[in-house]
Each structure stands twice: as C-alpha cells, then as structure tokens.
Amino acid sequence: MKRKTFGALSLGAVILFVLAVAVPAGALEFGARAYYWYPTLKSDLRLDSGSTQGTDFDFKDKLDISNKGIPSVEAFAGIGRHHFSLMYTGVRYSGSTSSLPSINFGGKTYNGNVSGDLDVTMIDADYQIDLIDMKNILAGFSIGAIGKIKYFDGEAKLNSTAQGETKQSFRLAIPMVGVGANIGILANLLEARAKVTAMGYSGNFVYEGLADVSLTPFPFVDIHGGYKVIGVKVDAISDVTANTRFQGPYVALTVGW
C-alpha cells in the first residue's frame, strides 16, 4: 500500500516539475500548501464474509475513538486559466472498549474487550479551468469547473484475545466534478475561496467541500483559516460497507509564486 502511494505522489511531483521548467515564468504559478485539519468523525461500518452479512455498527462510538488533528500536504501549479494540484492526506484512528456488544465482523463474532483501527490514505489529483476570471484591482472574482480523481486506500481492523485479528483492505478511485470560486476582497492581501466536488454511482458516493479566507502578510506566503467536509459511502467494496463523514475547521499555510 505504501509503495503504491509513494509511486502516485512521485508521478504527480514529476508532472508538476515538468510544468515548472517547461512554461515561461510569467504564465506560471506554483507552490505548496500544508493543512492542519481537525474534523469530527462519523463512521458506520460493516464487514461481510462471503454470503454472511456482517453487523452495521458505529465504529467511532462503539470503540470510544476520539477526534484528532489530520495533516495534509498539497503541491500545485497553474498555467493561465489552467490549475493543477496533488494532495496527500493520511488518517489513522485507533480505539478500544471493554464492553462492545456482539457484532459479526468478517464472519467472526466480537464482543467485550475489543480494539480496532481505521486507516485511510486519500490522494487527490485536481484540474480546474477558469471560466470567468476578473483580475484583482481592489477586488476580483474567478469561477471555474473542476475535474478530479479521489483515491482511497484503506484498512479496517478489529482485534480481541478471544477471536484474534480480522482486517480488510479496500481501494477505490472515484472521478469527481465540481466548481471552484475565488474572491479577491482587498487587492492581493485578503482573499476567499470555495470548492465543491461530488460523484455518485451504484450505491456509492463521495462529496467534498471547503471554504476559507486567506491573508497574505508577506509576498509568496498565505495564511488560511477555513472549514472542510468529506463524505464517503461505499457499498460492499471488498466486502466493506461504510458511511463515513469528516467535517471540521482547518488552518493552512501556502508558500508559492
């Protein structure tokens, strides 16, 4: 799993590097952005085993899992109206309980003293083309169409002394479409942005949205504060059925040209 993730990030980095060296400087923007996101987690989970259907249960509440901060990193480049980005987010939640009610998880019955983990890697490859672009003077506005691939590489696991460990990996790549908007509030010093993307098919869906305000205290540096939500529903992907939502505030720092 880690090797495939590294390969995808390496390919994206090469693409962004080629754009940076092949395009005249005046037509190009590029940089990197680091996020620290503190979402609340809601996750209903079920693991089947062949024709045996597992038990739907609230993974977070039943295993007494706490919310936690999640870091993300993003590289981006732009050529005129065209904008590209690649983001990596790694999530790991762990918890345990001494009083889990009986559930069937992957063909085994777990109850009592049980621990569990949910690991998810998300990789986002975005392309946005500006449809309207009114440059900042004292204020400005742009809106664009977004095409995106969101890739999930995850693993759900339960463990107990009586039943041992049961785990299942799942992988899913979903194409998404949406819109993005930027509003220059005060020249290039204060700016707001919003992005919404979504896709659904065959009982599965993914949606994602963010909105933030950024301040540019120094040239090439932006400080962001905003709110982000991701919702994912998968139906029997590698025997995993899940309905998961992350939502909460974030801060970010951008360094770019």
In this predicted structure, what is the pLDDT of residue 188?
72
Report, as an integer, the average pLDDT of 160-182.
Answer: 94
In this predicted structure, what is the pLDDT of residue 167?
95
**42 against 139, higher pLDDT:** 42
Distance CA 29, CA 144 (A): 16
In this predicted structure, what is the pLDDT of residue 236?
85
Q: What is the 3-state secondary structure (H, E, C) of the chain?
A: CHHHHHHHHHHHHHHHHHHHHHCCHHHEEEEEEEEEECCEEEEEEEECECCECCCCEEHHHHCCCCCCCEEEEEEEEEECCEEEEEEEEEEEEEEEEEEEEEEEECCEEEEEEEEEEEEEEEEEEEEEEEEEEECCCCCEEEEEEEEEEEEEEEEEEEEECCCEEEEEEEEEEEEEEEEEEEEEEECCCEEEEEEEEEEEECCEEEEEEEEEEEEEEECCEEEEEEEEEEEEEEEEECCEEEEEEEEEEEEEEEEEC
pLDDT tens digits, one per residue of 212-222: 999 999 989 99
* Per-residue pLDDT band at 23 (split at 50, 70, 90): very low
Question: Is residue 111's pLDDT more than 90?
Answer: yes
Ordered domains of the chain (ranges, CATH): 2-256 (2.40.128)
In this predicted structure, what is the pLDDT of residue 25?
44
Amino acid at 72: S
* Per-residue pLDDT band at 139 (split at 50, 70, 90): low
- What does the mean pLDDT of the chain come to? 89
The closest alpha carbon to 71, from 252, 211, 193, belongs to 252
* Per-residue pLDDT band at 65 (split at 50, 70, 90): very high
Please state, for a pLDDT cut of 90, what percent of the chain lies above it.
75
* Per-residue pLDDT band at 19 (split at 50, 70, 90): very low
Question: Is residue 18's pLDDT more than 80?
Answer: no
Question: Is residue 58's pLDDT more than 90?
Answer: yes
In this predicted structure, what is the pLDDT of residue 13?
52
Whole-model pTM: value is 0.85
In this predicted structure, what is the pLDDT of residue 245?
96
pLDDT tens digits, one per residue of 181-205: 999 887 678 999 999 999 998 778 9
In this predicted structure, what is the pLDDT of residue 135?
67
In this predicted structure, what is the pLDDT of residue 140?
78
Going 78 to 79 to 83 to 86, the CA torsion angle's sign is negative
In this predicted structure, what is the pLDDT of residue 161?
94
Report, as an integer, the average pLDDT of 217-233.
Answer: 95
Q: Which residues face 120 on adjacent strands? A: 91, 154
In this predicted structure, what is the pLDDT of residue 141?
85
